[in-house]
Structures are given as C-alpha cells and as structure tokens.
Structure 1
Amino acid sequence: MARFLRAIRFDVSDTHVFPRAAEPDESAIPGGFLYMPRPGFDAGSLAKKERQAFVSGFFGLPSFGFSTLVSVGEASEQDIETCVLNLTRFLVEHFGAPSRDAAEGLARDEIGYARALADDTPLNTLLAVKREVDAEGAIREQFHIVNPPGDKPHALVWDVVEDQE
C-alpha cells in the first residue's frame, strides 16, 4: 500500500470556517493549485471562508471540501487513480481546464505532490499547511507536523459553537 494524505476532523470547526468541509478520512491533497495566478483571480483579495481555505486548507477528494489537518494513511493504487480521476473532473468542470488531457496532467502532478509529502512520513502523522502571498505576489506554502499535546491543557484557548442562523 502507498502512503497518502487523509482528511481528519477532530471537531466541527472545519464545517464553520471553510466554504465546504472535506469529509473525514477522504483522500486529500495540498490544493495550492487552486490559488495559482490566473486572469481575474487574486489570492490576496480572498476574504472570510475562502481566505481561511487559502491560508490553512487541504483539498479533499472527492468532496472538493477543505480540511485543516490531514493524517498520513495508506491507499491502494486504485484509490490513488480514483483521486486522479476525481481531480481531473474537478479541473475540467469547475476550474476551466482547456482540455481533459491538460487537466489530467495537472491532476497527476498534484497527486504526486501529495504522495511525496506522505511517502517518507510515518503513518498517522498529522500535518497542517500555512499559505501566504509574499511581497512579490508569489504564494508560499509551508507544511508542519502537528504534535499532539502530552498532557491535557488546563484551559481551552477557544471554543467552537454552532451558529444559530
């Protein structure tokens, strides 16, 4: 089995902070391609939930939702090929890819990038991403390992509550 990224959800916060939350345990990729420069799009002008997805979201497949954290898990080659097909479809139907072949090429690159992140990382390792736009307008992406706390914290820093709207 190959290693691959899986969306993980410890609480309901992803359902509140992203435009759409990834499903727990679905395959995930970094998703930085969503913010690449193109006509009519400026990552620096994103706001609210879209901004949160840019700053800290992994892209779930096939939900096309976002997850704050991913876990390194296992996936069969068939699972990975299904990710390529789902991402290719997304790129054609929602992202304006000029052709299916072009979309599949980008999909394979993105899936390969996710595999490379997972390959040398121990199973069940939690990863987070941080993206920003630098002074030249380039998007910078950093990944870091999230270490679970050794002891239970003495107080909550924040709490997430359901909005009554």
Structure 2
Amino acid sequence: MYLARAIHFDESDRNVFHCPARTGEWCISGGFEFSNWGDGDLVGKARQAFANGWLGLETFGRVTFVAVTRIEQAEYDALVQSLAAHFVQVYGAPSLEAALPVAAEELAQMSELCADHNPNTVLTVLRELTDAGVREQYRFLEPSDAGLEQFAIHGSLDDDDHVHGPGCGHDH
C-alpha cells in the first residue's frame, strides 16, 4: 500500500505557508479544510495553502510537494485514528466513531491516488474555487524525469528545526 510523505526541495514552504508541514510526515490532500471557503478567504498565505498545499497528518501544516512511499498497514490504521480524532477536536465531529469512516475515506482517496505510481513519484495539487465548489487537479513527476534524488531535502522524521507559526497544531 502507498501513501505520500512531505518533501522539500528548498525552504520556500516556510515562507509561503502559515504552518508548514514537516519533512517526512504523511500527507493527504486535505481539501475538506476549504469546503466552506469563498473568494474572501483566499488571501495571503491562506490562498497559497488553498491553491497548492497538501495537508500533513502530524502537524496539520501544508506542503507543496509530496512523494509516493510505501506504508505499512498498522501505520496507515494509526493515521485513520489520528485523523478521526482531529475531526472531533478541530472540526466538531460528534464522536470518534462518527469521524472514523470520514477519516478512512480521506486516507483511502490518497492511497488510491498514490497506488498507480512508483515510489518517489512527486505529486502536486492545484485547487481552484468554482461555482460547484473546490476543484482539485493533481500532477505527477516520476523520479527519473528530473533526477529528483539530487534535489530533494529528505530530512529525518526527527527533524525539528522548523519554526512554526501559532495555531499549527504542533506540540511545541
């Protein structure tokens, strides 16, 4: 099974997102965050998060690029639980039980998006606000297309040198 992790090619995400995702954290589209947005909400860093940001499942920050990576079932299941808890804590879902199917669907959609691509394939998202709601488009760059291993800043899962803005959902 595949999912995607946040990657950084440079430091730009620190400048363009109010709350940047951490290198290496698992990500989903996170378009649900924008379901009630209108044109007036699309300003500054919020506009950038809307237009091009994947949602990190640890910091709930945004990242421009993610890379397809294999995930173990136990880790995937833990992400479903964590996202469901986030839906209860942040979005007011009535219970963990009610939030679990929605969280499972969000992760299943991302897993399906990643399933047809090789590991290390880079994905980008482009969102626009239409009369029918939020429209998402995805682009894929296979690792051999650009010698990505030469450019990506992979970091470690323990990398904690980011300076995060307030309200990012970080523990520090």
| TM-score relative to the length of structure 2 | 0.79
Instruction: Please name the residue that 1:141 is paired with.
Output: 136
Instruction: Please name the residue that 2:49 is paired with.
Output: 53
Instruction: Look up the equivalent residue of 1:84 and give its one-letter code.
Output: V
What is the distance in 2 between the residues matched to 1:112 and 1:123? Answer: 17
Residue aligned with 1:94, SS: helix
Instruction: Please name the residue that 2:88 is paired with.
Output: 92
Instruction: Look up the equivalent residue of 1:127 and give its one-letter code.
Output: L
Instruction: Look up the equivalent residue of 2:91 and give its one-letter code.
Output: F
Shift of 1:102: 2.2
Instruction: Look up the equivalent residue of 2:31 and give its one-letter code.
Output: G
Segments of structure 1 that go 5 or more residues without pairing to the other structure are 151-165
Instruction: Please name the residue that 2:102 is paired with.
Output: 106
Number of aligned residue pairs: 144
What is the distance in 2 between the residues matched to 1:85 and 1:50? Answer: 27
Shift of 1:97: 1.4
Instruction: Look up the equivalent residue of 2:135 and give its one-letter code.
Output: R
Instruction: Please name the residue that 1:7 is paired with.
Output: 6
Instruction: Please name the residue that 2:117 is paired with.
Output: 121
Identity %: 35
Is 2:32 the counterpart of 1:36?
no
What is the distance in 2 between the residues matched to 1:75 and 1:67? Answer: 19
Shift of 1:128: 0.2
RMSD value, Cα: 1.5
Shift of 1:25: 1.1
Residue aligned with 2:119, SS: coil
| TM-score relative to the length of structure 1 | 0.82
Instruction: Look up the equivalent residue of 2:7 and give its one-letter code.
Output: I
Instruction: Look up the equivalent residue of 2:115 and give its one-letter code.
Output: D
What is the distance in 1 between the residues matched to 2:39 and 2:102? Answer: 23
Instruction: Look up the equivalent residue of 2:8 and give its one-letter code.
Output: R
What is the distance in 2 between the residues matched to 1:28 and 1:18? Answer: 15
The one of the two structures with greater contact order (alpha-carbon pairs below 8 A, sep at least 6) is 2
Shift of 1:125: 0.4
Residue aligned with 1:103, SS: helix
Residue aligned with 1:72, SS: strand
Segments of structure 2 that go 5 or more residues without pairing to the other structure are 148-172
